[in-house]
Structure 1
Amino acid sequence: MAEAIDAQARRHLLRADRQEDLCFALWHPSTGRSRRTALIERLILPEDGERNVHGNASFQPAYFERALGLASAEGAGLALLHSHPLGRDWQGMSGDDIRAEQGHAGAVYGATKLPFVGLTMAGDGAWSARFWERTARRHYGRFDCATVRVVGQRLRMTYMNQLAPAPRPMEAQIRTISAWGERKQADLARLRIGVVGGGSVGGFIAEALARTGFEDVLVIDYDYIETKNLDRLVYATRRNVGEPKVSELATHLREAATAEKFEAEPIMAAVYEEEGFRAALDCDVLFSCVDRPWGRHVLNLIAYAHLIPVIDGGIAVRRNRKGELAAADWRAHTATVDHRCMQCVGQYDPGLVELERLGHLDDPTYIENLAKDHPLRVRENVFAFSMACASQQMLQMLAMALDPLGQPNPGEQLYHFVGGHMEPPIYGVCHPECLFPGFVARGDHCGFVVTGDRPARLSPGSKKPAAPDSIVRRGFVAISTALAFIGRAIGARLK
């Protein structure tokens, strides 16, 4: 859930008189490859006479019927939230709790075709949660969630230790743990992190995750290692040329990891393909290490509709007419609720997304005809620049998760190598006309399709795009260029 929903729930559920309380909420599903997440979109607070508070709390049938009617009308699921104000951390369930939730699961499923979801808030604000799944006719079984994620200025996780046990501190992590303590390390290490893009920046970030003690890392990329990559890939050597980036990077991470139990899963797909998209939805945090508009467009939607924070970064290098280095800039920022999205930051041009879908961004003729200062031609970088950008992205994630001294958001950061200075950080929210804040917590129900097939120019296994095939193709490029111009005009207005 978003921080605003969490704060509203705290105000209602954690009463000054220390009695329990309850309310209903609407939720939407977020379906990954192996994980289903319930995204709490909106609370349905009780009206006068709809619930009783008597040490414990109970609701009247009219309240349940009103909430269920809203869920059915809006195509959402229904959740019941209640509090254990004297509890701490993940909470178990009393017999009354179980009867209240299980006894209503059938009616909820019948009206919404989605499981009834139960959440409990402890006195310290920790959440526990479960799904009531239909397991047989007229029977609903309880399935506990492994984690509950609260997303906003900071990232706050609550773990069920039986399903997501705290890792054992390792000798190889002594220096790391000494910086922020065992409790914070345990919370960090259990995050499932997705690195989207196994290139130069992605390789540095993935290695930093493995050495820091994270237990579960996914690497998503469809590309292969080429000789021209070797000056920037920290994990690759000449013997890796021709191999998939994700498989070689995953092998390297297993050797570098300091966690006792470590998984590095290679996903040989683009994030805009269904396989890559669903794998990304299994994660708690995503690192955007792509430099193309379609991938960023997909990740932008995930950050808001699916409430998975996306740590994005980018590098721009420019030379002057003499061929000398004129500028090298890199930036890092976090896309999530209460932050500006990547489109509003200016990290991708929405007008170029369709061009990439059509394969034109892999057309050498199209790229060569672009201006020398076009964003698609100034993203070349070198090892040192990639290392610096990756470091900034890692620090963004650590600040959000560790919340050091109550300062979880370093803002949008931009560093200029030529001149050696950092711009003042920017804190802001999206433009009023931006679409993405309207998708918050809508998940699979957002109605915005961003995935598709990989362009024909980059068929699976292909390392290089095919050459333009006809004059008709060049006509399409001209039309798409006009569309891109329109997209840039719209983007400029959004900024």
Structure 2
Amino acid sequence: MTSPTNLTLAASLHERVHRHLFPGDGLEAAAILLCSRTPGPRIRLLAQDAVLVPHAACTQRHADYLVWPGMAIEDAIDRAEVNDLSLVLIHSHPGGLFGFSQHDDQSDHLTMPGLFQALGPLHGTAVMTPDGAILARLYQADLTQIPIDVVSVPGDDLKWWWADGQFAKRPMAFTSHARDEMARLTACVIGVSGTGSVVAEQIARLGFGQVILIDFDKLEERNLNRILNSTLQGAKSEQAKVEAFAEAVVRYRGDGVAIPLNASISSREAVLLASQADVIFSCVDTLDARHIADLIAASFLIPLFDVGVSIPTRKAGESVAIADVCGRIDYVQPGGATLQDRGVYDPVSLRAEYLRRAAPNAHLEEIQAGYLKGVAEQAPAVISLNMRAASACVIEFIARAYPFRHSSNAEHARTEFSLAANDEDFTEEGSFKKLPNPNLGRGAMEPLLGLPSLRAPKAKDKQ
């Protein structure tokens, strides 16, 4: 399956552009999207910002016709030159036409050559209808068109507008109609172990067109009791977890769905592959991996679902007892509060984790026992807990792509459950203090994610 070409706007930017394009007077208005790009092979444009063309600066504004001032485009060109950005010129269709008019075609052929003279390749135009739907197209330097198959806006809800008009009415959750749309999307699962294998099993069977699987680890006999699609034979041959899972997907979905990568998410190869996804599920057990997932989601404007479980213990006389059985699911939307903003990790905890790996003798007092904190258990029987958390994680995606809740999805930025207390708590997006994010919409700019360790190798290094 070929991944669709895509234009993505964070919900906050989409809302700002929508307000400007529809000021309430029923006349066309215009803006210019400043877009970074993802690394190939998939074409994805990521809207970083917008130049809003002042209404009064337009020499003509009608219900079906607009004349822009050249200065607005020159301003956008100046801003785009700095980081080699693509421009998408967008205007409103107050009458609701989800298509390009003959006047739009004529205008593009007059405007596009000037963009290619001033900037590099790949620029485009778009129209927005009153309901916020966007239709976009790209041009190459010879004015050959590249259709944008889908425009996505990941916010409290996940929205896609398809150029072919399919799914104009949002599918109902849990239906074959929703499955048909998911068949056009690519999901990435980072960490295909205890929780991750259960997440991956669900999304593969839900019908995602492609499922990217990223994990550096190999199967061992001690984790056969909690990793779906693992086998004794695979453990004995030290098969990569992602390869074992991909083989299983082939048996019930066929070839070309599972895309396994046996590598650390901290590697350049893994970051490049994850950048191609429409949604990311982070099912890792280290803070460093969550940090990278956070950076990928922000840099490439990909919605992120992060899941974790924990079984804290307490002293009970001379023995140890279960204090709680917990799970956490965070939904991170582009431009929203990141996992770092939410306190999932911070620079201090990242450094401490690094020291435990690099100098374990310096942290002998810290017991790292995996699932059961304080108990050295090599093969914990936690598949039921993992399934509970993994199911909640995938349901969170479904609720945002195909809303069914009685309350707003904004109230469910974080879900935490305690099985010991039989309790479930929700935290709304606005409760987290959001810091400026310099990586937002960074795209393919080097070094990837702003990390020197992920810089593209020089030509001599490739030999």
TM class by shorter-chain length? 0.7 to 0.9
Q: Is the 8 A contact 1:298 1:450 kept in 2?
A: no
Alignment of 1:288-307 (within 5 A): 288-307=282-301
**2:345 aligned with 1:348:** yes
Q: Provide the residue aligned with 1:64 in structure 2.
A: 73
User: Relative to structure 1, is the Cα distance of residues 365 and 11 closer, same or farther in structure 2, using a 3 angstrom cutoff?
Assistant: closer
Q: Is the 8 A contact 2:36 2:45 kept in 1?
A: yes
Q: Provide the residue aligned with 1:106 in structure 2.
A: 113
150-159 vs 373-382, which deviates more?
Answer: 373-382
261-270 vs 3-12, which deviates more?
Answer: 261-270
Q: Is the 8 A contact 2:173 2:399 kept in 1?
A: no
Amino acid in the other structure paired with 1:132: Y
Q: Give the whole-Å Cα distance in 2 for the aligned partners of 1:339 and 1:61.
A: 34
Q: Give the whole-Å Cα distance in 1 for the aligned partners of 2:105 and 2:207.
A: 37
Alignment of 1:81-230 (within 5 A): 81-87=90-96, 91-134=98-141, 139-161=142-164, 180-230=174-224
Q: Is the 8 A contact 2:313 2:373 kept in 1?
A: no
Q: 1:108-159: CA deviations, max 9, x gaps?
A: 234332422222223432212222223xxxx232111222110221110112
**2:413 aligned with 1:411:** yes
Q: 1:334-357: CA deviations, max 9, x gaps?
A: 11236421112222343354676x
Q: 1:246-279: CA deviations, max 9, x gaps?
A: 111112123344xx99711112222221111011
* Residue 324 of structure 1, CA deviation: 3.1
* Residue 61 of structure 1, CA deviation: 2.5
Q: Give the whole-Å Cα distance in 2 for the aligned partners of 1:140 and 1:396.
A: 42
User: Relative to structure 1, is the Cα distance of residues 254 and 10 closer, same or farther in structure 2, using a 3 angstrom cutoff?
Assistant: same
Q: 1:448-484: CA deviations, max 9, x gaps?
A: 523747xxxxxxxxxxxxxxxxxxxxxxxxxxxxxxx
Q: Is the 8 A contact 2:134 2:161 kept in 1?
A: yes
Q: Provide the residue aligned with 1:387 in structure 2.
A: 387
Q: Is the 8 A contact 1:277 1:451 kept in 2?
A: no
* Residue 375 of structure 1, CA deviation: 8.4
What is the CA RMSD across the aligned residues, in angstroms? Answer: 3.1
Alignment of 1:430-441 (within 5 A): 430-431=432-433, 434-436=435-437, 438-441=438-441
User: Relative to structure 1, is the Cα distance of residues 395 and 283 closer, same or farther in structure 2, using a 3 angstrom cutoff?
Assistant: same
Alignment of 1:304-343 (within 5 A): 304-321=298-315, 322-337=319-334, 339-343=336-340
Q: Provide the residue aligned with 2:244 in structure 1.
A: 248
Normalized against structure 2, the TM-score is what? 0.82
Q: Give the whole-Å Cα distance in 2 for the aligned partners of 1:123 and 1:345.
A: 34
User: Relative to structure 1, is the Cα distance of residues 46 and 340 closer, same or farther in structure 2, using a 3 angstrom cutoff?
Assistant: closer
Amino acid in the other structure paired with 1:56: Y
Q: Is the 8 A contact 2:302 2:334 kept in 1?
A: no
**2:92 aligned with 1:79:** no
* Residue 422 of structure 1, CA deviation: 1.8
SS of equivalent residue, structure 2 residue 444:
helix
SS of equivalent residue, structure 1 residue 140:
coil
389-398 vs 93-102, which deviates more?
Answer: 93-102
Q: Give the whole-Å Cα distance in 2 for the aligned partners of 1:80 and 1:329.
A: 48
**2:373 aligned with 1:372:** no
Q: 1:382-402: CA deviations, max 9, x gaps?
A: 111111110111121111111
Amino acid in the other structure paired with 1:342: L
Q: Provide the residue aligned with 2:424 in structure 1.
A: 422
Normalized against structure 1, the TM-score is what? 0.77
Q: Give the whole-Å Cα distance in 2 for the aligned partners of 1:197 and 1:118.
A: 38
Q: 1:13-72: CA deviations, max 9, x gaps?
A: 3464544332222222222x4213211122212232334223222213233223323333
Q: Is the 8 A contact 1:284 1:308 kept in 2?
A: yes
The one of 31, 38, 58 equivalent to 1:23 is 31
Amino acid in the other structure paired with 1:316: S
45-54 vs 269-278, which deviates more?
Answer: 45-54
SS of equivalent residue, structure 2 residue 45:
strand
Q: Give the whole-Å Cα distance in 2 for the aligned partners of 1:346 and 1:373.
A: 20
Q: Give the whole-Å Cα distance in 2 for the aligned partners of 1:301 and 1:446.
A: 14
Q: Give the whole-Å Cα distance in 2 for the aligned partners of 1:226 and 1:18.
A: 64
Q: Give the whole-Å Cα distance in 2 for the aligned partners of 1:114 and 1:350.
A: 39
SS of equivalent residue, structure 1 residue 340:
coil
5+ residue gaps in structure 1?
167-176, 454-495
Q: Give the whole-Å Cα distance in 1 for the aligned partners of 2:407 and 2:150.
A: 22
Q: Give the whole-Å Cα distance in 1 for the aligned partners of 2:250 and 2:365.
A: 41
Q: Is the 8 A contact 1:157 1:187 kept in 2?
A: no
Q: Give the whole-Å Cα distance in 2 for the aligned partners of 1:229 and 1:284.
A: 30
Q: Give the whole-Å Cα distance in 2 for the aligned partners of 1:442 and 1:429.
A: 26
* Residue 211 of structure 1, CA deviation: 2.0
SS of equivalent residue, structure 2 residue 74:
helix
5+ residue gaps in structure 2?
1-8, 455-463
Amino acid in the other structure paired with 1:39: L
* Residue 203 of structure 1, CA deviation: 0.8
Q: Is the 8 A contact 1:105 1:115 kept in 2?
A: no
**2:14 aligned with 1:11:** no
Greater than 6 Å deviation, 4+ residue runs: 373-377
Q: Give the whole-Å Cα distance in 1 for the aligned partners of 2:369 and 2:221.
A: 25
SS of equivalent residue, structure 1 residue 27:
strand
SS of equivalent residue, structure 2 residue 409:
coil
Q: Which has the higher helix share?
A: 1
Q: Is the 8 A contact 1:300 1:341 kept in 2?
A: yes
Q: Give the whole-Å Cα distance in 2 for the aligned partners of 1:12 and 1:270.
A: 43
* Residue 196 of structure 1, CA deviation: 0.7
Q: Is the 8 A contact 1:79 1:118 kept in 2?
A: yes
Amino acid in the other structure paired with 1:388: R
User: Relative to structure 1, is the Cα distance of residues 292 and 452 closer, same or farther in structure 2, using a 3 angstrom cutoff?
Assistant: farther
User: Relative to structure 1, is the Cα distance of residues 442 and 122 closer, same or farther in structure 2, using a 3 angstrom cutoff?
Assistant: same
Q: Is the 8 A contact 2:58 2:66 kept in 1?
A: no
Q: Provide the residue aligned with 1:475 in structure 2.
A: none
Q: Is the 8 A contact 1:319 1:327 kept in 2?
A: yes
